[in-house]
Amino acid sequence: MKLKATIIWGVCMLTAQLSASVFSADVFSGYTLLKQETKEMQDDDFLNQGMATVEKGGKLFASIGKNGKSCETCHGQGGKKLDPKVIATYPVLNSKTQRPITLQQHIINEWTENLGNAPLKYESSDALALEAFVRNLARGQVVNVQTGGKMVPFFEQGKKLYEEARAGQLDMACASCHNLYPGLKLRAQVLSQGQSNGFPLYRLADGKVVGVQTRINQCFDQFRAEGYPFGSEENTLLELYMNARGNGLKIETPAVRF
């Protein structure tokens, strides 16, 4: 069955149609592949449906926690004290654990430890809203994830998961699509490089905002594999590598994608 499925996938890719533009191996955002009307939707905050989630995150950011504090107590009204350049470096190395931590996990930790609130479930609507709000503060900032120093072993593990770890009935890795076939169509969808600079983003196919790890697991579903749990070490390493692959791209949160 694995061989048959792989052959079928290969036939699909060989018969895929080239998109209107031909791309080099340079890093480019999925925005490049969007139809003009979708680009206009992303660019206009009144049309971009992801902005409703950003606004929700802003309200949560200002809400008073169980201990009488809010995120604004430390980070200023509307997060004005947050440094966009720092936001653009996530995932970062956690000073306590000396392991990578995603922006969403950092927010969840702050929500619980500093505000005394009940923990938010990873990729829940509230956690995504807070992450979208914070990432939106860095919109236009260049992604700059650390890949050297103490981050090297984690970056390499994430790279191996992304480029080499095959799974599912189709026996595929993330790189099987996003490294080899960006710009080609798979059915009605144009394959991108799998860049994460727009997350959390509004996905038209879902009709809602999704996070990086939700999208990773959706891809696993497509090649008939079981994804990793949200917030797991594997998904954190994948997110680290994916964000680092996009170093130099501008943050687009909330992007709009198919």
Question: Which are the catalytic amino acids?
Answer: 219
CA dihedral 239, 215, 174, 253 (to 10 degrees): -60
In degrees rounded to 5, what are phi and psi of residue 7?
Answer: -65, -45
| Rounded Cα gap, residues 247 and 123, in angstroms | 23
Report how far residue 215's alpha carbon sits from residue 35's, in angstroms, rounded to the nearest whole number.
20
Distance CA 199, CA 133 (A): 11
- For residue 153, the SS3 value is helix
The continuous run of DSSP H or E covering 256 comes out as strand 256-257
CB 81 within 8 A of CB 74: yes
Calculate helix-pair angle for 103-113, 125-136, nearest 10 degrees.
Answer: 110
